[in-house]
Structure 1
Amino acid sequence: MSAGWADQRERGNRLAVAIIRWVALHLGRGAARLLLYPITLYFLVRAGPQRAASRRFLAQVWGRPAGLVQVARHIHCFAATILDRVFLIAGRQSLLAVRLHGEEWVTALVASGQGFLLLGSHLGSFEVLRAPGVERERLPLKILMQPEHNEIVTSVLAALNPGIAQTVIPLGAPNTLLAVKEALDAGGVVGLLGDRNAPGEPRIACRFFGRTAPFPLGPLALAAVTRVPVLLFFGLYRGGNRYDVYFEPFTDRLDAPRPRRREILAEWVQRYAARLEHHTRMAPYNWFNFYDFWDDGEGS
């Protein structure tokens, strides 16, 4: 049984991340991207469990073995999106070319004043929501997340823009649900990720790339409790400075009466898993769950 994502030690250190940030902001994106090659090599050599997880995942997607070159490309793609977080957070979004797909769904909901949930994943970049094309929609965005995960990278990058911390609603806090409700009642957008299980969180077994994988019930349970529209979001990195951002309508309102709540939520989680699989097939190197997704440490 492999370790789940919550058990993985954060690799890298604060000084290294700070150096990369300095190079990016003072020497430019081109110079900073040269650092991606030694970074990729470092993780290819030192991050054994993540390397093995990448190989297993790519083999599952393609139906054939994945070699070291493909694993290196996978790691490089992840490192590139982390680097671009520097520019997105620092307000240098113009360095990136971002194409929007389905933005009319966002525009209509924002214009109506209706609060809604934006359900994403660890496929591609969630941070690309700060790109210029998305900012045109003036998203009043709050993000549900666990700040302690990847704390080094998060804290070093957050220092670029202290206001970013004001957009975070910590998961598991006593007032989490209240903060979510207040944001939605004010016509805001709450973003969350639906593909990782927190320790002890209820989960459901879904079909995913031909196998059974555990998905959390929490995100769709939140949709049922808040009874607001849900849009899906995928920010796929296409190489260079290019991103494709996809918005999809998921549900106008999720009704899950208590007697059949788990059954109904399970159906919706499976629909989410199917859309995640669809977009993952489009861009498998954007898959940033570097652990055995089909066995996340507690079984499925």
Structure 2
Amino acid sequence: MSRWDGKTRGSLTGYKIFLFFIRHLGLGFAYTLLRIVTYYYYLFASGPRNILIQFYQNSFHFSKEKARKLARRNFYIFGQTLVDRAAFLLGKVDTFSHTFENEQYLVDIRNAGKGGILLSAHVGNWETAGNLLKGRITPTINIVMLDAEVESIKKFMQLSTGGPKFNVIPIKNDLSHIISIRNALISNEFVAIHADRYLDGAKFIEMEFLGKTARFPMGPFIIASKFDAPVTFVFATKDGTHSYHLSATEPITVRLKPEQIARQYVQELERKVRQYPEQWFNYYDFFNNG
């Protein structure tokens, strides 16, 4: 798969099975089952596996053996983040702990009263960040995302768990999501946007990333530059069986051009990926978007 198509993978049966085990047998059992499931995917999902191995070899210059081990660990940790997401929605919040690097930056953004734009990426577990931030720093987190999940899975998760603990602002062709973002910022709410996946046909900006040229979506950086709200880069990475490390960068409080914000963002993203290479969850050829 050379391009991202905007869709989330996963089967309704798989969601049902893991929700059942988490609810009745606990996270430990779900993690054990996960080792079998993710090893199966590692063996037979050759496309994502090979792309991930090539990413580790070409970007980090790892040996093929080390790249394979890291790819297998990547599949397992990704599975854990999905299980953790379901556990959060089932109310098992007390099972998890977290540290927050530079939490005061988000407190300062809230106190400024202009709302805040949080740019993130598919590194670690962004939904966990939304669940942890809600009620801790701000009562409302809005996540801007493509509304392309399989409808039956969305309905089942909604009925089974009550749905996510944050608001979703779906990206629309009529640009109505821009109005929703504006209204959220006016209400002094946080708006989180992924800025790492370029969807074919959308505007993009080319930046150097891990020594190669990659395309990043222009939209998030245009939004960050147009609104009078502080901008920060946030990540939530798994740093233990039941623990997460959240981080935020010093807010950008002056108007910058989209290209300037993109440059700072890509530098921070590269730093995070080097720190947590096993939590790079982009399973397509990130450098082949042409």
Alignment size in residue pairs: 287
Q: Which residue of 1 aligns with 2:112?
A: 112
User: How far off its partner does 1:133 sit?
Assistant: 6.7
Gaps of 5+ in 1: 256-263
CA distances 1:194-226 after superposition (whole Å, capped 9, x unpaired) = 001123111111111111111111101011221
Most deviating of 160-169 and 226-235: 160-169
Q: Which residue of 2 aligns with 1:65?
A: 63
Q: Which residue of 2 aligns with 1:259?
A: none
- What is the correspondence of 1:1-300 to structure 2 with a 5 Å cutoff? 2-6=1-5, 11-67=9-65, 68-132=68-132, 135-149=135-149, 154-162=154-162, 164=164, 167-174=167-174, 175-255=176-256, 264-296=257-289, 299=290
Q: Which residue of 2 aligns with 1:260?
A: none
Which whole-Å CA distance do the structure 1 matches of 2:35 and 2:215 have between them? 33
CA contact (8 A) 1:40 1:75 kept: yes
The 1:119/1:133 distance shift into structure 2, 3 A limit, reads closer
CA distances 1:148-202 after superposition (whole Å, capped 9, x unpaired) = 1465655443434435387111012532111111111011111110001123111
Letter of the 1:227 counterpart: D
CA distances 1:41-73 after superposition (whole Å, capped 9, x unpaired) = 121122111001110121134212333322211
Q: Alignment RMSD, CA only?
A: 2.1
CA contact (8 A) 1:204 1:216 kept: yes
CA contact (8 A) 1:99 1:133 kept: no
Which whole-Å CA distance do the structure 1 matches of 2:189 and 2:134 have between them? 15
CA contact (8 A) 2:119 2:193 kept: yes
The 1:163/1:83 distance shift into structure 2, 3 A limit, reads closer
Which whole-Å CA distance do the structure 1 matches of 2:251 and 2:287 have between them? 24
The sequence identity of aligned pairs, in percent, is 25
CA contact (8 A) 1:142 1:169 kept: yes
CA contact (8 A) 1:94 1:132 kept: no
Which whole-Å CA distance do the structure 2 matches of 1:20 and 1:222 have between them? 37
Which whole-Å CA distance do the structure 2 matches of 1:163 and 1:69 have between them? 34
State the SS of the aligned residue for 2:249: strand
State the SS of the aligned residue for 1:234: strand
The 1:197/1:49 distance shift into structure 2, 3 A limit, reads same
The 1:105/1:162 distance shift into structure 2, 3 A limit, reads same
The 1:159/1:56 distance shift into structure 2, 3 A limit, reads farther
User: How far off its partner does 1:21 sit?
Assistant: 1.0
Most deviating of 154-163 and 207-216: 154-163
Name the TM-score, length of structure 1 as normaliser: 0.88
User: How far off its partner does 1:146 sit?
Assistant: 1.0
Which whole-Å CA distance do the structure 1 matches of 2:245 and 2:165 have between them? 25
Letter of the 1:6 counterpart: D
The 1:281/1:154 distance shift into structure 2, 3 A limit, reads farther
Letter of the 1:209 counterpart: L
Most deviating of 171-180 and 148-157: 148-157
Gaps of 5+ in 2: none
Most deviating of 138-147 and 30-39: 138-147
Which whole-Å CA distance do the structure 2 matches of 1:183 and 1:32 have between them? 36
